[in-house]
Chains A and B, each alone.
Chain A
């Protein structure tokens, strides 16, 4: 799933009313060797290399090295830090001024200036351009050039406290003149950025190569080149990692984690992710709109055991709420101890019988648990459905390819089966702010026919008001209080059943040094926090 990351990164700065001034520099890595090739195995083929239209985390592995971002998030604290912008200043509730580093050059020798920054963000935010990243900048009105190295970001009044999601690979800065000269399609195939590595060659389906930018403004990148190899079969990717054909595997199945942890010369890097999987109910009609039904489903299954059987706690862990444990306001202890329901087959059976007697559960058709064709989501759907059948519910599991699943889940008017959408399993990724989860998954704004992210179709004015207030207040403590309240409400009402969070997992060859895995699911090789190098063999 692609990432939506509307990062609320300046809130703390706004709250403190500070002008951020910091040096942009890469920490020294003692003993680092310069030279060599790093080969990275990637689970999917690449699609787009223009950050403005790119919406896949896999494409982001590459564009993150070719382009620079306005600011960067600290991979440990998620605090915004200087990057292309050396500092910024809050001028008013709806205006933030960014001061850019001078002397940054694109790979073709052009200077990176305020014009390029404004062009990039205004292009994405212009609905006429139909950028898939448009929704990540809905809070932004315009970027205005003040002088060659200064821009003002004007936000919508309602979103005044929100800072730009400028630390994302989908908002990396592109060279205006080059894009206009090359055209969008050509630029997408032969990108020119200002990042630590330059685009060299893209053999579609085979490999993509980037080489060191000798004139990189921030530091001297350690590697001569980085080769990305799409390897769709995970089992083959593991064989490649074992044989030394790749240095980094971007993914790893649970059954291989321990093997690679114990293997000489290989290791496994892990950290919490920003992903949550959950089971949603269709609140638009019965039986999903009856809280007794939702409780009966929840009570039918030991979610801990189900998640453990799939992930063995190696690549995924039980979730108690959509906000991942890695970020603030997650409220995990409370949700786990007070809200999550234990398996109780007797109660589940009783509720199902009661719902049948009341005519809430339709007798003329089986209920359906929809899920995408992902083995893990299919497995957990099957476990829940099996338990429900044992408790007396006529239910089937229907895995669907991504396209038809979206049609169904979004309630596309063209899809006649949407009316029979009872419940489904799906996942969601966001940035390091609770807004990215609670607003998109539960707010009424996102219960829209054709592109609903609020798949349950939950519409509660009180909840919406809390989210709205949290999204527009400067007080972080108040925001946290509101987000916590909002979570407790939706999970006490069992609007969805939280299932699991992935653990970000990368397989590494020990020759790789300085690699840092981040919950932000990025694959940074060289930036203010990394400068990966490889030991010569």
Chain B
């Protein structure tokens, strides 16, 4: 119920933001030198000449019943979004996998070997990961791996395979995986750094807890103490952060996808804004917001699994 209220508020806010956005969509679509009659006809055709409440209802009802047509893509908004969604999903999942596989072991080792050269290496790299802008990092990866070493393609999406009803997926082909690496590493850089630092801090805190000393005093093997007693308890804040990152991957994808010519919904958002395609911008923004909300919900559910002390009434 709370989600529905948030969604409703969001639709109103988005609509008002679209209306506040400068530039007449009809004029941008008609182009320079278009006749006033043409501009008026486009405006009428898109319903932009109607009162705001009517326009709002047209957008909202169209989004929810699937009939809303994109203004410039000649397809329904959902078709436009769903065509581009697989690219973003596979990029986001790859980025998340890379971030998790690198950051959690790194953070763990960094905490265990505190103040060692390994710890310094991890914390310094993590600091760099947070500080370096994603687009610059992506350009450097392209330059080194794509141009100098020629081991990976510079940009774009590789060969993709159409799956009935599920769109086109490129991670199932070798060419597709090769194209995924640079954008996924670039997109994961910030997440990787944040997760590594968080895992390290969380582990350090847990390792100082008395129950860890008790476990060691009982004569448990260090590996069991670290993995079963310390790590599991240190995981809660990390999972929260990862959950939030799932949503932010969509937002981060806007920059990464534009830089690496990755044809996902992040780049679609930029295209749609440039084209003043209010229907697509509205649908996409709503979709991204829904993804955020669902990832928050998933985090809440996961909490109960990780920490049995947490229950929901």
Contact = CB atoms under 8 A, between A and B. Distances in A.
Contacts of A406: 23-24, 27-28, 32
Interface residues of B, number: 52
B154 A245 contact: yes
A411 to B, nearest CB: 12
A1 B267 CA distance: 21
Nearest to A45: B271
Interface string A24-55: 00000000000000000000010110000001
A110 interface: no
A130 B83 contact: no
B22 A440 contact: no
A135 B32 CA distance: 11
A499 to B, nearest CB: 18
B153 A245 contact: yes
6 contacts: A233-B259, A236-B155, A242-B147, A402-B274, A405-B23, A453-B32
A133 B60 CA distance: 33
A350 to B, nearest CB: 37
Interface in B253-270: 258-261, 263-264, 267-268, 270
A205 interface: yes
B299 interface: no
A479 interface: no
Interface of B: 22-25, 27-28, 30-39, 41-42, 72-75, 80, 83-84, 87, 139, 142-143, 146-147, 150, 153-157, 160, 168, 258-261, 263-264, 267-268, 270-271, 274-276
Contact of A451 (B39, B73, B143, B150): B39
Interface residues of A, number: 49
Nearest to A244: B150
A134 B157 CA distance: 37
B155 A239 contact: yes
Interface of A: 1-2, 4, 45, 47-48, 55, 127, 130-132, 134-135, 185, 188-189, 203-207, 229-233, 235-236, 239-240, 242-243, 245, 400-407, 410, 412, 414, 440, 448, 450-451, 453
Contacts of A131: 38
B258 A450 contact: no
A205 B38 CA distance: 27
Given A130-B38, A232-B258, A401-B22, A205 B268 contact: yes
A185 B153 CA distance: 35
B84 A243 contact: no
Nearest to B146: A243
Contacts of A203: 160, 168, 263
A403 B32 contact: no
A236 B23 CA distance: 29
A406 B33 CA distance: 10
Given A203-B160, A233-B258, A240-B155, 17 more contacts: A4-B33, A130-B41, A135-B33, A231-B156, A232-B267, A242-B147, A245-B156, A401-B23, A403-B23, A403-B24, A403-B28, A405-B23, A406-B23, A406-B24, A448-B36, A450-B36, A451-B34
